[in-house]
Amino acid sequence: MPKTLASSLKSAPLVTSPLRFWHRGQVMNPGNVPPDRTLLDLLREDLRLTATKEGCAAGDCGACTVVVAEAKDGRLQYRAVNSCIKPAHAIGGLALWTAADLAQKDGTLHPVQQAMVACHGSQCGFCTPGFVMSLFALYQRTVAQGQAVDKHSAHEALSGNLCRCTGYRPIVQAACSLQADATQAVDEKPIVAALQKLVAPAKTDGDYQRPSTLPGLLQARAQHPQAQLIAGATDAGLWITQGLRRMPQIIDLTRVGELRRVEHYPHHIAIGAAVNLQDAFEALAKDRPVIAPFGERFAGWPVRQSGTLGGNVANGSPIGDSMPLLIALGAQLVLMAWRNINGKGRAVHRHVPLDRFYTGYRQSLLAPDEVLAWIVVPRPASGEWLGAYKVSKRQEDDISAVCLSVQLQVEGGWIKSARIGAGGVAATPARAVKTEAALIGQPWNEATLQAAQGAIADEFSPLSDLRASADYRRQILGQLLRRAWLESTGHTTVRLEAFA
């Protein structure tokens, strides 16, 4: 358990919130909103704010993109989010902008709208509001801070927006035409002041609980093991909109202060379960830069800004992207619960290596009263080599057919250690122990590579589905091992990301 956490684990009251958020200069209080009502439905159907559109209702297309901001250290932090899969209550205490909120009262367009008009980027009425909102978030994060927009940040900001019919070039051009100019930046002071007044009263019987402390979260979990625990809801939101599942009670862990931190120690980093994917990949990439382009292949910007690393791991999808990487890195999980010990409620924790966490298809060692609190990742030992690969049909915003991560320690041409994590090839994210055994202690040459390719083809029995056939998956595993061999021995590096 991270050291700073131990001191904070005293009993604390639960805090739940009625839904209140800032919008267009005022605090909105839409009354009794069911816990599983989506933000999009709240906007369009309850509040009749129809500028935000529905395309896929699955977080894929970006038509429903809105921008939310949270007050931190006297400033606002902006995120573009998919309102279709976000529970409305998740924006309690935040500020919200939709596509109808950007132009001035006299009709003067916001700079991002003007840029879209000037570059002929405006397309149909479904995708355009979403593109505009992603550009607005980009504007606030870069242009309003005095920075110009480059092509990479434009692509990143638009990576969660799809157009099914025309093209992206004029929209990217509109993004890149934004000048570093803060004149239209949001006046944050009054909004920060308004958000500070939205601190919720304590309430312990809510249908949507949003505890702000770790003891509060653990107690809520202990008292309501049947409630749906959510983080960014980028998986769970789809169970509502696609699976038509009702969630009469939700515990949202994204405001738990202790779990929103990344803690750095000499031998490991500890990533809190409420840290979003973007921040988590950035933290991991500080020690291992090769993780940065891999992280950019995970979904698109809005999903990475809402979804958490903890949610990816806890959800346990066999095609989840982070787990093969974390398995190769030797990550451990800290699972926590609030238990009655000698008549007294106390936080307890246990460490579980990630490669032993999954027990079957979407099943894990997590007990009903437990939460995943931290993901602990060892820092690189000297001489470590790491490859992290994702194979999917699209570069961005796509689920992988196969993921492979390879961590090697090679000394004098001999493999001292190997850890390999694989995704998309078994019922769970898996460690390739037999392939590791074929590598360890061997010279890192063509013969060993071929033996390892044979071992990895035998080690897994992937399925055929709409993403790839079993045969393709088995072959690609071997080819990714070859890529690791080529890259780690300095033969050649071919990266799709390097092509403009």
Ligand X SMILES: Cc1cc2nc3c(=O)[nH]c(=O)nc-3n(C[C@H](O)[C@H](O)[C@H](O)COP(=O)(O)OP(=O)(O)OC[C@H]3O[C@@H](n4cnc5c(N)ncnc54)[C@H](O)[C@@H]3O)c2cc1C
- String of contacts with ligand X for each residue 388-427, x by CB under 6 A: ---------x-x----------------------------
3-state DSSP assignment of residue 363? strand
- Identify which of residues 128 and 407 has a Cβ nearer to ligand FES in the complex: 128
Say which entry of ligand FES, ligand X, none residue 206 contacts (CB below 5 to 8 A, set by partner kind): none
Please, are residues 83 and 59 in contact by the beta-carbon 8 Å criterion?
A: no
Residues 72-91 that bind ligand FES (CB under 6 A): 82, 84
- Cα–Cα distance, 198 to 396 (Å, whole number): 36
Burial class (CB in 10 A: 0-12, 13-18, 19+), 149: buried
- Identify which of residues 59 and 206 has a Cβ nearer to ligand X in the complex: 59
- Candidates 163, 251, 309, 408: give the one binding ligand FES (CB under 6 A): 163
Count of CB atoms within 10 A of residue 249's CB? Answer: 15
Using rule CB under 6 A, residue 64 touches ligand FES: yes
Phi, psi for 444 (deg, rounded to 5): -85, 80
Using rule CB under 6 A, residue 112 touches ligand X: no
- The stretch among 1-9, 130-138, 308-316, 444-452 that binds ligand X (CB under 6 A) is 308-316
Angle, CA of 352, 353 and 355, to the nearest 5°:
130
- Cα–Cα distance, 263 to 4 (Å, whole number): 9
Phi, psi for 391 (deg, rounded to 5): -115, 115
- The stretch among 135-143, 234-242, 324-332, 407-415 that binds ligand X (CB under 6 A) is 234-242
Q: Position 482: which residue type?
A: R
- Identify which of residues 233 and 477 has a Cβ nearer to ligand X in the complex: 233
Using rule CB under 6 A, residue 478 touches ligand X: no
- Identify which of residues 57 and 115 has a Cβ nearer to ligand FES in the complex: 57
- Cα–Cα distance, 186 to 144 (Å, whole number): 8
**CB-based burial, 353-379: b 16+ in 10 Å, e otherwise:** ebbebbeeeeebebeebbbbbbbbbbe
Least distance to ligand FES, CB of residue 127, Å: 3
First-residue to last-residue Cα distance in the chain: 43
- Cα–Cα distance, 421 to 439 (Å, whole number): 14
Least distance to ligand X, CB of residue 244, Å: 16
- Identify which of residues 167 and 345 has a Cβ nearer to ligand FES in the complex: 167
The length of the chain is 500
- Candidates 321, 436, 459, 487: give the one binding ligand X (CB under 6 A): 321
- String of contacts with ligand FES for each residue 17-56, x by CB under 6 A: -------------------------------------xxx
- Candidates 22, 131, 298, 357: give the one binding ligand X (CB under 6 A): 298
Residues 343-372 that bind ligand X (CB under 6 A): 366, 371-372
- Cα–Cα distance, 34 to 20 (Å, whole number): 13
Say which entry of ligand X, ligand FES, none residue 358 contacts (CB below 5 to 8 A, set by partner kind): none
Using rule CB under 6 A, residue 295 touches ligand X: no
Which residues here bind ligand FES, judged by CB under 6 A?
Answer: 54-57, 59-64, 82, 84, 123-124, 126-127, 163-166
